[in-house]
Structure 1
Amino acid sequence: MGFFDDIASLTTQELLDDLVSCASGGWVRPGLFHAFLEAPPDEQRRALDRTLDGAVRVAVARGWCPVDVAEIARRRSAESVQPRVLEALARQAAEHPQTRVHPRWTAQLEQLRRSAPATPPLWPELVKAGIRLAATLRTLPTEPCVIPAPGSADPTSERVGSVDETALRRVRGLLAKAESTEFPAEAEALTAKAHRLMREHAIDRAMADSQSSGPAPTSACRIWLDNPYLRAKSHLVSEVAQANRCRSVFRPGLGVATVVGFGDDLDTVELLVTSLLLQAGRSMRQAGSGNADGAARSRTFRQSFLLSYARRIGERLREASSTVESESDARYDGALLPVLADRTQAVDDAFTTAFPHVRSSIARVGGSTGWGAGRAAADLARLDVRAELRSRAG
């Protein structure tokens, strides 16, 4: 039997399965795609839906949730197939009683449906997008669960230790002001105040947990980062995570950082990273706007700027956390630090279990000018801003 005779003997589903395998392996089998498009249209549609169903199930079983799948589709230029993927996710959820589907899972699906492309591309392009996405989803690594998969856990419990909405609104208000102001010193001061509020809340929750039912279980969150300067941005995630007693790992091939910690601390990391990335981008543009020779607009300068910014922000956040913890330890008559030490050990254990083979990376700095500018941008404001900002936060 010849090569093309072998293709002719395959079913429509087998043709698509082979196309996905080719995409996963990075090789091409001539005539395969054309043979699939010659199959009856109904068979093609059923094969694509079955393939996406299977790929989504693999991804969900390995800890990925709807927002992750949508992000992967965007990064693989497969947004056009997102409506069919969302239907696959919805079919998986529909297999279980509504009471066994976590509210955040349902909310993510609904939000993604509202933003999904309304007009599908031509069928061949849609199939190609489905093949790219299915190939990626099938090969995803196992990650800590961020939202319980449909049917796997009690959906009535939110991420343990999540910050209450009143505190979140106050913090978001401070960070929104930090992102909108044109004055770097004011932005840094507002961010410091937001961080202090979150740390104080997290400490009070940690003490309440230790005095009642014992420590809450650790959890995780994922933070998707966009090009350019992915590694530099991942260092900012790492610095913010460490300052809040969390651990992070970055997957450069996907552009995602996973952070392991307790609920309140994860909320702090997510909010601060989102805000600081915006602030860093603005500060970097300001640093280059007055530079006549264009050096401050080079890739080397910007990479060094972001790395330095991340390092200094980490130092300042750790200093602020240490101050808050010392003050709170005195308020709790010396009972806080042992509780925090136990929580740090729990995070380390959870991180090591989830990522037993993780390796530390060393960032290379290509220019001292960018490094100095980045450190200066992160070092402008005072950390003790309670008096200055009392009227703003109130």
Structure 2
Amino acid sequence: MLLPRGVPEAGRLAAFNALVRGDRATVCRAAEVPLLDQVDLLWANGWQPDDVLHHTRVALADAKQRRLVPDLVAADRAGRSTQAIDPRWQQQLDDAGLGDAQARRGWLARWSAREGLEGAQLVLAVLAVVETLRVPPLDFLLPPPGRPDQPLASAASAPDRADPVLVRVRRLLAKAESTEFEAEAATYTAKAQELITRHAIDAALLAANRGRNGEAPTMIRVRVDPPYADIKNVLLNVVAAATRCRVVVLGQVSMTAVMGTASDLAAVEALYTSLLVQGQHALAETARSAPPGARTRSASYRSAFWLAYADRLGERLREVTDHVVAGSTDSDRLLPALQSQADALDAWVTERFGTLGTSPVRGGWDAAGWTQGRLAGDTAKLATGDLRPTRRAIG
């Protein structure tokens, strides 16, 4: 690396001073290889382009440093033009809006010139990025470039985005996000949860009929951004639990692992995103007319709001799930089938992560924030008869 760990402080300072005295071209030539080596190590440790770009957006406070990372990933991509790349990996690269690097050499000098950095500022920016990319390994969810035989966290395939049930769920949640009417948003959300629960019941009964345990567990990683990341993880856990999934928070990287069947995971990701958007909208409305420093803008108020919002939504989602399960015409076989799937998932999670613990949720307490959070999550009734379409078509 530029300034290797394990070298005495005096040696590190001497290496830093030598880099600072070099001109821009010299520093960039020296830095390109260790930066690309660091990215190669990330791919070998289970990271994906989306993971790296998200982590650095959150972890790097300096905008110039953040803009270095897409150029770095683009340079890595340019050096792998002849390697086999998984289509899902390639899709992440295509969607990322990467820099214009066409080769593994020369890209850092163009970035530094564009950002107006040289000397100590340039060296410190590069070192900050290198340090930020020193992160723990993750589970392999996609094979990295050039390694098609890399073992993955699960052999289960990703959910088919053309699955008609999941398409309907996404449409309902999109409507829930876009409507200005709270009761209407809750109706759409409840209907989406009802659909995915019925979908899971059908799959469990089909597997039971065939003498199988159902879909093999698999895993996704969900980005959970600050502020209030620990409380947003509470909301994610609430959604996952109501959708028969398990959650493990990944420390240091602003991501959370969610385990379950492929279809349930697709529903969790969509539902969590929708509820997060709706919660942010409701919180923004309470603060829209409040002056700076007002109670509704305080950290205690917002923490209490998010906790109450998650608490009430947990109740509502459980009501929907319990109602659908209770309405099954084949409950004698359904409950053992669902329990068998839950046991298999718990065993899989334990095998991957060992014994798990819990951590306290940080934040203050505010009675008004709690009340507003409950109100934001407490709207439409959830009995089947109350899930009829409003004036906007459902489905």
Question: What TM-score, normalized to structure 2?
Answer: 0.81
Contact 2:56 2:66 in 1 (8 A): yes
Q: 1:207–1:227: structure 2 CA closer, same or farther, 3 Å change rule?
A: same
Counterpart selection for 2:47 from 43, 46, 64: 64
Kept after mapping to 2: 8 A contact 1:188/1:380: yes
Unaligned runs of 5+ in 1: 1-13
Change (3 A) 1:335 1:61: farther
Structure 2: how far apart are the matches of 1:179 and 1:161?
Answer: 23
Once the two structures are superposed, what CA deviation does each residue of 1:276-303 show, in whole Å capped at 9, x if it has no partner?
1111111123334566893222211111
Write the mapping of 1:304-315 to structure 2, written as runs, cut at 5 A.
304-315=304-315
Report the more deviating stretch, 210-219 or 234-243. 210-219
- Residue 87 in 1 paired to residue 88 in 2? no
1:48 and 2:31 correspond: yes
Cα-to-partner distance string for 1:102-132 (whole Å, 9 max, x where unaligned): 2111100111145789964235456544432
Give a deviation string over 1:199-241, Cα, whole Å, max 9, x none. 2223333444453875332111112122221111111111111
Q: What CA distance in whole angstroms lies between the structure 2 residues aligned with 1:296 and 1:28?
A: 51
Query: Cα gap change, 1:39/1:350 in structure 2, threshold over 3 Å: closer, same or farther?
Result: farther
Distance 1:75 1:27 in 2: 32
Q: 1:320 corresponds to which residue?
A: 320
- Residue equivalent to 2:338: 340
Inter-partner Cα distance in structure 2 for 1:88 and 1:352 = 38
Mapped to 2, the partners of 1:92 and 1:315 lie a distance apart of: 51
Aligned to 1:9: none
Partner of 1:176: 174
- Give the partner amino acid of 1:49: E
Seen in structure 2, the aligned counterparts of structure 1 residues 126 and 319 have a Cα distance that, compared at 3 Å, is farther
**1:74 lines up with 2:42 in the alignment:** no
Distance 2:391 2:207 in 1: 29
Q: Deviations over 1:241-267 (max 9, x none)?
A: 111111112245332222111111111
Superposition RMSD in Å: 3.4
Of residues 123, 128, 132, the one that matches 1:132 is: 128
CA drift at 1:80: 1.9
- Equivalents in 2 of 1:354, 1:382: separation in Å? 39
Tell me what 1:254 maps to.
253
Q: For structure 1, which segment, 161-170 or 268-277, has the greater mean C-alpha deviation from structure 2 after superposition?
A: 161-170
Change in Cα spacing, 1:333 to 1:284, as seen in structure 2 (3 Å) is closer
Query: Which secondary structure state, in structure 2, belongs to the residue aligned with residue 334 of structure 1?
Result: helix
Partners in 2 of 1:214 and 1:33 — Cα distance? 58
Q: Distance in 2 between matches of 1:80 and 1:181?
A: 35
Q: 1:388 to 1:83 in 2, by over 3 A?
A: closer
Structure 1 distance, partners of 2:34, 2:238, is 40
> 1: CA distance between counterparts of 2:283 and 2:265?
26
Counterpart for residue 6 of structure 1 = none
Q: Secondary structure at the match of 1:359?
A: coil
Structure 1 residue 370, shift from structure 2 partner: 1.2
TM-score normalised by structure 1 residue count? 0.81
> What per-residue deviation string (whole Å, max 9, x for no partner) do you get for residues 65-108 of structure 1?
11001112212333222234313542675564x3xx32111100
Amino acid in structure 1 at the alignment position of 2:257: T
Secondary structure of 1:220 counterpart: strand
Corresponding residue for residue 142 of structure 2: 147
Does structure 1 retain, via aligned residues, the 8 Å contact 2:43–2:144? yes
Aligned equivalents of 1:256, 1:25: Cα separation in 2: 34
Residue identity opposite 1:306 in structure 2: W
The 3 A distance-change label for structure 1 pair 311 and 52 is same
- Higher share of residues assigned helix: 1
Whether 1:121 and 2:115 are equivalent positions in the alignment is: yes
Count of residue pairs the alignment pairs up = 370
Cα deviation digits, residues 6-29 of structure 1 (max 9, x gap): xxxxxxxx6x142xx39x999994
Cα distance in 2 for residues equivalent to 1:51 and 1:249: 32
SS at match of 1:392: coil
